[in-house]
Amino acid sequence: MFAHRGGSALAPENTIAAFENGLALGADGLELDVRVSRDGVVVVHHDSRLERTTNLRGDVAAFSASELERADAGHHFGPERGWPFRGCGIGIPTLRSVLDRYPGRRVIIEMKVNHPECAREVVDVVRGSDAVDRTCLGAFGWRVLRAVRALDPAIATSAAREEVRWALYRSRCRWPVSRVSYDGYQVPEFAGRTTVVSPRFVADAHRAGLGVQVWTVDDEEVARRMLEWGVDGLITDRPDLIVPLRNRAQNLGSGRGFLE
């Protein structure tokens, strides 16, 4: 079970505060997003701009890593509770600082920039933090994932959006993929009107030796259904709800090596 952005319903997303809270609640690992700062440092942030979650304005890429570290990344969280994280010194962390802080934890890293240079920077950090065997790199875009696979085939990657579409089409035609360049899928149950995750899709993935991790699962009934279908992981904003349910479940997925 992975805490999505650290468990973003409970603490400011993609911050150390969220990561600490998600892991304290029993999450097995973390899911986070990365971009590259003005000075070429990989930082943990979802949006291309800063206004939604911090007290800064502008593009992430316009600021240095040290400037982003000094941002108030808890500024807009929890207005119904009086902004409890505002002014608490919670900044935007670097990817290296997160990997080094949690040396035994599995981490899903979503690269938000679909460019080979982003891949090079992220791979360098993963290698430098000795985290090759406990990270999975994902992205919607195929270009950045193709670069990761070329740079270091030992690093697990998930399927890009077009790769998921092709696998889903093949599964529906009862001609599932078997030899692919990725290690599994990180997908929602539904994408618009399209059903992505189904018992057949999970079974086809497992026959090909691929894992299936589902985001963002915050509903207990959905979590039960996914576990019954044998998915390999749940990615949630509510580890306070989903971790206890997972712990009670008998079927925790097939564990086919996708960051197991």
Digit-coded pLDDT (tens) for 20-35: 999 999 999 999 999 9
pLDDT digits (tens, 9 = 90+) for 199-211: 999 999 999 999 9
Average pLDDT over residues 130-139: 98
Q: What is the pLDDT confidence band of residue 132, given thresholds at 50, 70 and 90?
A: very high
Average pLDDT over residues 138-157: 98
Which pLDDT score is estimated for 254? 42
**What's the token pair of residue 88?**
């608490």
Alpha carbon 215 to its chain's center: 9
Angle between helices 116-128 and 142-151 (to 10 degrees): 40
pLDDT digits (tens, 9 = 90+) for 38-91: 999 999 999 999 999 999 999 999 999 999 999 999 999 999 999 999 999 999
Distance, in Å, from the CA atom of 22 to the CA atom of 16, rounded to the nearest integer, reads 10
Percentage above 90 pLDDT, the chain:
95
Region of residue 24 (phi > 0: left; psi between -120 and 50: alpha; otherwise: beta): alpha
Residue 251 has pLDDT above 50, yes or no: no
Residue 253 has pLDDT above 50, yes or no: no
Residue 155 has pLDDT above 50, yes or no: yes
Residue 151 has pLDDT above 80, yes or no: yes
Q: What sign does the dihedral 7-13-14-16 (CA atoms) show? A: negative
Which pLDDT score is estimated for 255? 43
Tell me the residue type at 180: V
Residue 97 has pLDDT above 50, yes or no: yes
Cβ 54 vs Cβ 71: under 8 Å = yes
Distance, in Å, from the CA atom of 109 to the CA atom of 95, rounded to the nearest integer, reads 9
Average pLDDT over residues 96-118: 98
Which pLDDT score is estimated for 250? 52
Cβ 16 vs Cβ 101: under 8 Å = yes
For the ranges 32-41, 110-119, 241-250, which has the lowest average pLDDT?
241-250
Considering the entire predicted model, what is its pTM?
0.95
Burial class of 141 by CB neighbour count within 10 A (0 to 12, 13 to 18, 19+): middle
Cβ 58 vs Cβ 50: under 8 Å = yes
Which pLDDT score is estimated for 249? 84
Tell me the residue type at 203: A
Phi (first) and psi of residue 174, to 5 degrees: 60, 40
**What's the token pair of residue 19?**
């990561």
Residue with tokens 């007290």: 55
Distance, in Å, from the CA atom of 162 to the CA atom of 107, rounded to the nearest integer, reads 23
Cβ 91 vs Cβ 68: under 8 Å = yes
Distance, in Å, from the CA atom of 260 to the CA atom of 253, rounded to the nearest integer, reads 10
Distance, in Å, from the CA atom of 4 to the CA atom of 2, rounded to the nearest integer, reads 6
